[in-house]
Structure 1
Amino acid sequence: MRSDLILRVVAKLLIPFMLLFALYVQFHGELGPGGGFQAGVIIAAAVIFYGLIFGLPATRKMVPDALVETMVAAGVLIYAGVGVAGLLLGGNYLDYFVLSHDPVHGQERGIFWIEVGVATTVSAVMLKIFYMFAGRGLDPDDS
């Protein structure tokens, strides 16, 4: 598909809107349907769409394996870090109320960071799965 001009142009037009929609879902998650999991899947879908159109080597240059693996760990650490921060501030694990001077703001802040951690981990795991399956049968020098 790398030689199909129409697909390449459409992909370059759609991917930024896909990522923008993922941000909308991420930031609107505590107010309505959506959140970290859905945003992470949409982010991964945009990168996978890029990979299907432009090829796996180009995708791995754009989002390298080392970055994907770092994102998996970073998302888990963000999630766990919110819980530890609650403990250090005198609350229970994942008790958001102690994260700010006002319990409502603490709740908003905690949910936001939990959702960021989930989105980071979910998008990275989806990309890692894609890389593993798409890379099967390829010569190691090609990827």
Structure 2
Amino acid sequence: MSNDKVASVADIQVSVVTDYIAQQSIEAEQQFVFSYTITVTNNSAETVQLLSRYWLITDANGDSSTVTGEGVIGQQPFIKTDQSFTYSSGCVLKSPLGNMQGHYQMRTDSAELIQVDIPVFRLAKPNILN
């Protein structure tokens, strides 16, 4: 795993681990595949529900795209106090280096909507920065 990032907002912690998937990447076609595993930990006093996500994905060429939608991996999970939810997903870049950032919108038991920022994290083919 090539990258670890952690951010904490409103007692919700988001940690990210990334990996380069060489077996699925086709460098000659500028297709670089990355996976990321995110763990959302609820350290607040209330259960939260992850309602939606927003991603800004940027490659080393300066091309960017956004991804928005309900929940993550087809789910809108409830995360109880002192519990975590972990999922994995991926993206394809046209360069061997890029980054992602974004946020989740969540709702607390008391119906408060909160935005939890996802820290900027790097997607990098191993040894690309050496």
TM-score bracket for this pair, using the shorter chain length: under 0.3
Bigger strand fraction: 2
- TM-score where L is the length of structure 2: 0.22
Rg larger for: 1
TM-score by length of 1: 0.21
